[in-house]
């Protein structure tokens, strides 16, 4: 693999199971992968569509509090999929994608 990605590829640092590790963040090994930009765009759009559907089904208010926006953080996995990190995720790196859905 060359140090510079092809024009239609994007470099992503993701968790690794130990095969091909390039460095360590805490106890988590990472690897550098190249992801096709067109496929990544499809995956991001799918994630946004799915999250929009979930947010649209949420209530406008809970008790005395109104829900004006929902902030969602996601990561790109080793297959180029856009995924949510659940509570208690133990990755030690900062980064990823942040989506903010605001009510109109």
In terms of Cα–Cα distance, which of 93, 81, 88, 87 is closest to 42? 81
pTM listed for this prediction? 0.70
Domain spans, the chain: 9-102
Mean pLDDT by 10 residues, the chain (104 residues): 68 68 56 89 95 92 91 86 69 68 85
Cα angle for residues 42, 32, 11 (degrees, 5° grid) = 45
Cα 38 to Cα 31: distance, rounded to the nearest angstrom: 21
What does the CA dihedral 80, 84, 90, 96 come to, rounded to 10 degrees? 60
């Amino acid at each position: 693999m060359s140090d510079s990605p092809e024009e239609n590829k994007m470099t992503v640092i993701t968790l690794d199971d130990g095969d091909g590790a390039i460095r360590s963040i805490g106890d988590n090994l990472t690897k550098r992968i190249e992801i096709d930009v067109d496929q990544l765009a499809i995956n991001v759009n799918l994630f946004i569509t799915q999250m929009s559907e979930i947010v649209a089904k949420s209530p406008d208010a809970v008790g005395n509090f109104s829900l004006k926006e929902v902030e969602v953080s996601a990561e790109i996995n080793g297959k180029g999929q856009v995924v949510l990190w659940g509570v208690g995720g133990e990755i030690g790196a900062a980064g990823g994608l942040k989506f903010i859905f605001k009510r109109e």
